[in-house]
Structure 1
Amino acid sequence: MNQSQSNDPLHGITLKTILEYLVAEYGWEQLGDRININCFNDEPSINSSLKFLRKTDWARAKVERLYLNSISYDERHGKNKPETDAGQSETESAWDRARKKKK
């Protein structure tokens, strides 16, 4: 059973999902400031932006790059960071934390 896995971090993520994430994260105005294209600055909408980005490779590449830079490494790889309490060292073991609670 040889299954090849894609090394593309955008594999399985639609352009619409990427655009919706960026709009939610930055809003149209800030998105237009970060990537200066008319579909983000002049009466922006998801549908008009998708239409433009699907036809324009250089603009799509900029949007994809911004998306990849915007999400954390852990989100891209499906891993969650361990939650830590304020002032707690990430290298501190569960055993050390349990002993501190008993004191």
Structure 2
Amino acid sequence: MTGSSSPDPLHGVTLQRVVERLEGRYGWDGLARRVPVRCFQHDPSVASSLKFLRKTPWARARVEALYVEMVREEQET
């Protein structure tokens, strides 16, 4: 979040916002290449992704790590 005092890029950001921002930047195809899970590869949607990620800790961790990497890259530019 812009102007946040927390150094954690995930602080105050919902999982839905994480998925929407990643999809906006990479598209579903790019997201599926970076995190190869079915919810990104076959008939992807934010709703199906959220349902899967909330039940699958390892996939959620990879998505959140990708988001943190994206935010850090954006801050460098």
Shorter-chain TM range is 0.7 to 0.9
The whole-number CA distance in structure 2 between the counterparts of 1:50 and 1:37 is 12
Displacement over 2 Å in runs of 4+: 5-9, 72-75
Number of residue pairs matched by the alignment? 72
Relative to the length of structure 2, the TM-score reads 0.83
1:40 is paired with a residue of what secondary structure?
A: helix
Structure 1 equivalent of residue 66 of structure 2: 66
The whole-number CA distance in structure 2 between the counterparts of 1:70 and 1:6 is 17
Higher relative contact order (CA 8 A, sep 6+): 2
Higher helix share: 2
The whole-number CA distance in structure 1 between the counterparts of 2:7 and 2:50 is 24
User: CA RMSD of the aligned region, Å?
Assistant: 1.9
1:72 is paired with a residue of what secondary structure?
A: helix
Task: Compute the displacement of 1:9 (Å).
Answer: 3.2
The whole-number CA distance in structure 2 between the counterparts of 1:19 and 1:48 is 11
* % identity of equivalent residues: 50
Unaligned runs of 5+ in 2: none
Per the alignment, do residues 7 and 35 of structure 1 end up closer, same or farther by CA in structure 2, a change over 3 Å counting?
same
